[in-house]
Structure 1
């Protein structure tokens, strides 16, 4: 299954689990702004009412009686290049905004906004998806709803672009991490959960926060291909099967290559259930992408590839950074 054809398969850079935060909203009379960036799909209980009215799993403002609009500002967990935005109005039927717009900016403090999605009509109870054509690095997004109403989720899909100065100071980093520009490019199966979960920060808190495939009934095995943030040499590979007690893979192999070249073997190992495995790679070659094969199927919670960028990788990151400013 190639995940490159739909921007919604790219990481959501605004996710709370990636470090995103709703830093402000002018109104949240009916439902809290923080719901906008929760990882789970919005839920709905028809019998759930509170002192302020119907309880929604989203952000909902009061009925506006004066000119203007409502807005919320989100700081991305991983600043980067935005490729698409979803304004999800699921469960909002008679109270969704008729129109919305989304702007971006770059900086520690929100300001100097530029358009990502122009003022556009929305549908209720729908995932309103918009392609974004912008090559500027974004740190914050501003959702404007016109004039008022409710939005369940705001998804900001794209590719993280880390600060080269930070990498130079750190030295060794997780080359595959979403926040460092790592992204799943292809995978064999994503039946239960997204393979992008493998690259999120922190330990998984349940099996549902990892990547799990369907039970394989035929020959072959499942796999995932990952583009690293930059070309680098992997010193330590960490394969975490945490929470996968009875459905962890039996074995795993890890290979790497540079820009579509031939695959080179990096690791071939058995795996234990519910275990964080760490492997030191001796004399690792430079790689810009990796392929993890799990045999025959199952789930992993995280994949960490600790290493240092090559000089080629550092130059490429610096060039991307300069182009996106």
Structure 2
């Protein structure tokens, strides 16, 4: 995609509603106005985008990812294009010749044109708007919101605003639309541009479960991304007892990886099994003597007792071997020793000195297979998988439970942002 007119200007956001909330957001882009009508060729040639990584948003999870269970559960209007398109993965698709009985078929959410109350007042009132309710796939702290108007060149909204609320994850639209429910405005009404990736940083340190997207007064939005950090329900995890300590839906995260050439390492901690090759993590072919790896942060300090390494749908390109290392960041931060008294077969990473300890010796991996291993439990906050020499894995599951210290820290964190 070519970025035209991308702006790195920081625009101060207005104060948001909600108790104790000050400057709730910052506009990361300053795209406004129409994009030129489509003239043929690559429809993204004049798309206005921004580098989200340079804006400090790399590594955040999309809390509105359908694969985590997110959904658009209600909208007041979807005359031209369905609300569900907002959360479709990947870039919006544009077919200039695709029309239906209601008009141009767009890959996004598009409402009809609003009109005023009478011939004497033909324009919409200043407060007129359309809205959509989105259930996040997992509760979390919102760090940024991207309102993508790709291919909406002259039919995008003039402005958008976003509110968020902490409710039951299974709350109905009627419950969420109750006037007594205390929504917090995380993006005040702000202008956006057509055929552009409009991005906003959010500065509200709160845990939310739903967002309400408003477009003023009407128009179309291709995609909505709600980037942030997963904050699971500590009571739910405590009730489960044993769960996947690295799963994205439980609060695990990828911290770094050696290679993201074919597909992102974050795929390895998504729910469910991979259904095709690009739903896992695959690296480019190595022509040196090195190897590839992913490092993860667990939801909190926990003890891993069982490991699954899944190479589903990776048949001629699965990793040949893998090994696992753990690190107890809590012990390192407190000056505790992490080496010594190690379980049989483990050992300190040579020359590391930062507390990495082997959890699983190097094992042979088979293509398109789920591999299961029982391991000796020990406290850990971070895990690293090394694959040899290259290739990929589809999923990594680390079954275990939180330590008392980890459970206490998680509960305090959730209480602080409730």
TM-score (norm 1): 0.95
Kindly indicate whether residue 301 of structure 2 is the aligned counterpart of residue 238 of structure 1. Answer: no
Which residue number in structure 1 is paired with residue 114 of structure 2? 64
Secondary structure in 1 matching 2:358: strand
**Superposed, which structure 2 residues align to 1:170-319 within 5 Å?**
170-259=240-329, 261-267=354-360, 268-281=362-375, 283-319=376-412
Larger radius of gyration: 2
Instruction: Determine if contact 1:17/1:39 at 8 Å carries over to the other structure.
Output: no
Q: Is the 8 A contact 1:105 1:112 kept in 2?
A: yes
Tell me the residue number matched to 1:88: 148
2:75 maps to 25
How many angstroms apart in 1 are the aligned matches of 2:57 and 2:133?
22
Larger mean CA deviation between 11-20 and 258-267 belongs to 258-267
TM-score normalised by L of structure 2: 0.75
Comparing both structures, which one devotes a greater share of its residues to strand?
Answer: 1
Are 1:155 and 2:225 an aligned pair? yes
Distance 1:244 1:180 in 2: 25
In structure 2, the gaps of 5 or more residues are 1-52, 116-123, 333-353
- The answer to which of 165-174 and 185-194 deviates more is 185-194
* 3-state SS of paired residue (1:217): coil
Partner of 1:6: 56
DSSP-derived class of the 2:62 partner: coil
Question: Are 2:373 and 1:323 aligned?
Answer: no
Q: CA deviation at 1:40?
A: 2.5
| Alpha-carbon distance in 1 for matches of 2:235, 2:144 | 27
Shift of 1:6: 3.2
- Is contact 1:4-1:186 (8 Å) kept? no
Q: State the SS of the aligned residue for 2:61.
A: coil
Q: Distance in 1 between matches of 2:321 and 2:140?
A: 34
Q: Any runs of at least 4 consecutive aligned residues in structure 1 with deviations exceeding 4 A, and if so which?
A: none
Partner residue in 2 for 1:121:
191
Change in CA separation of 1:193 and 1:151 when aligned onto 2, cut-off 3 Å: same
Question: RMSD of the alignment, in Å?
Answer: 1.5
Work out whether 1:138 is the aligned partner of 2:198: no
Higher mean alpha-carbon deviation, 144-153 vs 116-125, is at: 116-125
- Give secondary structure in 1 for the equivalent of 2:387: strand
Q: What is the number of equivalent residue pairs in this alignment?
A: 322
